[in-house]
Amino acid sequence: MALASMSKLMTSIAALQLVEKRLVDLETDVSSLIPTLASQEVLYDWDEAGRPLTQQRKNSITLRSLLTHSSGTGYDMSNPKLARFTAYMGREVNCGTTIDERFGYPLVFEPDTAWEYGTGIDWVGQLVERLTGQTLEIYMQRHMWDPLGVSRMTFWPAIVSGGTARVKISVRDSVSGGFSALKQPFLTEGVTDCFGGQGVYASMEDFLKVLHSILADDGKLLTSQSVAMMFQPQLLPPSRQALQKRVRDSTPESSFIGIFDKTLSYDWGLGGMLAMENEPSGRRRHTLFWSGMPNLFWVSTKSNSEFARY
């Protein structure tokens, strides 16, 4: 089935593997490695004629900012300003077969000054490809899926599924409450790039093998130091404050799946959102969690030196 944004966890792990190999650092300015992203200016307003007003970026785009959604990269399918920009350019939202085509629009703020859930980890996938000289599919196959014995995980399900049926996505009618099949292509259907932020297909059993490896700290994917870092807060103060405001202002229909109490503190780790307090629901401090568009949800928690899975 389509994992959608649960793909972000795996691409984050791939990036941390390259940090361990010293091919890149979390504070590396990745502009030279991702030229389409680096050339984007910051969208700050619109003139009286309805034309977008942009200005040159001043801050560096680091690997950490891309992994934590603090680089200024948003989604035009969820950010009204970017949707307006896309319409101004005569395009449809979330359109294009490559990452450059689909996400080549301006930043919505200076890196590390705010927070916006968006395309950062898709660009991280491009970074992995540039640094390794391999597609994200091949890299993950060799360095993540094979070591875990994962056989049903891929960016290209039509090619490698071996006849395995895919879960079909349905939508609920808001009036009748009934279900019907989703008619339009879902997220990355028809693309030609590996979209590291949303493009992986997998069985749930194989996705759980990835989670288990991290929580068991078995060394198959990452060192203990890297695993511990995943469960540590990564945002700079301005981005943390912006995230907290978004949580406070969120509605049940927002993208913040798994927020049970909007008065509590949250940050972003490396791979998902991070709970910063013990919660009445039972979720512990430093629990890492996120979701995927087809109503998918994962959660993992680190307590002292022990790992456990809910």
Residue 74 above 50 pLDDT? yes
Asked whether the predicted pLDDT for residue 164 surpasses 80, the reply is no
Give pLDDT, residue 310.
31
d(CA 30, CA 13): 17
Residues 271 and 186: their CA atoms lie apart, in Å, by: 23
* Catalytic residue set: 5
Q: Is the pLDDT of residue 168 over 90?
A: no
For residues 273-298, give the mean pLDDT. 90
Tokens of 100: 């450059």
pLDDT greater than 80 at residue 257: no
Strand, helix or coil at 230? helix
Entry pTM: 0.92
What would the pLDDT profile of 98-151 be if each residue is shown by its tens digit?
Answer: 999 999 999 999 999 999 999 999 999 999 999 999 999 999 999 999 999 999
> Which residues are bridge partners to 300 per DSSP?
288, 309
Q: Name the DSSP class of 142.
A: I
Given this model, what pLDDT does residue 125 score?
A: 98
Strand pairing category for 42-46 and 273-275: unpaired
Task: Write down the pLDDT at residue 29.
Answer: 95
Which pLDDT band, with edges at 50, 70 and 90, does 304 fall under? very low
As a whole number, mean pLDDT of residues 258-269 equals: 87
Q: Work out the number of other CB atoms within 10 angstroms of the CB of residue 298.
A: 22
Please state, in angstroms and rounded to a whole number, the distance separating the CA atoms of residues 36 and 103: 9
CA dihedral 85, 269, 14, 129 (to 10 degrees): 20
Give the pLDDT confidence score for residue 254 in this predicted structure: 61
More confident residue, 261 or 54: 54
pLDDT for res 196: 97
Residue type (1 letter), 80: P
pLDDT of residue 307: 40
Question: How much is the average pLDDT of 39-61?
Answer: 96
Which candidate, 197, 182, 187, 174, places its Cα nearest to that of 73? 197
The confidence score (pLDDT) of residue 252 equals 61
Mean pLDDT, residues 218-226: 97
| % of the chain residues with pLDDT over 90 | 77
pLDDT grade, residue 160 (50/70/90)?
A: low
Q: Tell which wins on pLDDT, 293 or 17.
A: 17
- Mean pLDDT for the stretch of residues 32-60: 95
Q: Any idea of the CA torsion for 149, 152, 294, 94, to the nearest 10 degrees?
A: 110
Q: What is the mean pLDDT of the chain?
A: 91
Query: What is d(CA 184, CA 166) in angstroms, rounded to the nearest whole number?
Result: 16
Read out DSSP for 116-140?
A: --SSHHHHHHHHHHHHHTS-HHHHH
Half-sphere exposure of 229 (CA within 13 A, CB side): 18
Confidence of residue 161 (pLDDT cuts 50, 70, 90): low
Q: Rounded to whole angstroms, how far apart are CA atoms 307 and 304?
A: 8
**Residue 35 predicted with pLDDT over 90:** yes
Mean pLDDT value across residues 36-55? 95
pLDDT of amino acid 309: 36
